[in-house]
């Protein structure tokens, strides 16, 4: 059953890529995707390395101890969606919209931890998941805000040169 769930998640992620990677903000979308992949992989490697979480069923189990589908596909794509829906929001709305992702993600992980072998929590809880999802969402959103400011500075400088 776990392999079917992972294959379903992988298929849904691959299906969503053409819809998420289009439009004017392609550069920012790629930055969000790859930076979230790196951040999620680093955090997950630490969490697995310190034996807080374990992935009994995962792709390439002889090579990787983390779950690549989560770290370099699912979480980055969710971050792309989150940045797209919160792109022009103020801080209050960003905080509220973060709950749309972090609360269901935490509950889903808790459910799957209890009912599947996709992962096992050792020194981990639903609150750790909530905190790590929020941390990575806000880190990536802050990174996008920084890029937006750089673009504004660049565009203002170009206008002043004319």
Extents of the domains making up the chain: 2-161
pLDDT tens for each residue of the chain, 162 residues long: 899 999 999 999 999 999 999 888 888 899 999 999 999 999 999 999 999 999 999 999 999 999 999 999 999 999 999 999 988 888 899 999 999 999 999 999 999 999 999 999 999 999 999 999 999 999 998 888 888 888 888 777 665 655
Interhelix angle 91-115/75-86, rounded to 10 degrees, is: 160
């Amino acid at each position: 059953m776990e392999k079917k769930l992972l294959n379903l998640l992988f298929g849904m992620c691959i299906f969503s890529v053409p819809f998420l990677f289009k439009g004017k903000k392609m550069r920012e979308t790629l930055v969000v995707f790859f930076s979230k992949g790196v951040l999620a992989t680093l955090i997950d490697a630490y969490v697995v390395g310190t034996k807080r979480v374990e992935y009994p069923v995962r792709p390439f189990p002889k090579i990787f101890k983390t779950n690549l589908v989560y770290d370099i596909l699912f979480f980055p794509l969710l971050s792309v969606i989150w940045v797209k829906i919160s792109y022009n929001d103020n801080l209050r709305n960003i905080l509220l919209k973060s709950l749309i992702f972090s609360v269901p993600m935490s509950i889903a992980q808790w459910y799957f931890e209890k009912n599947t072998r996709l992962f096992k929590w050792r020194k981990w809880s639903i609150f750790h998941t909530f905190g790590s999802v929020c941390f990575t969402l806000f880190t990536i959103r802050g990174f996008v805000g920084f890029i937006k400011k750089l673009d504004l500075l660049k565009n203002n400088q170009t206008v002043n040169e004319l």
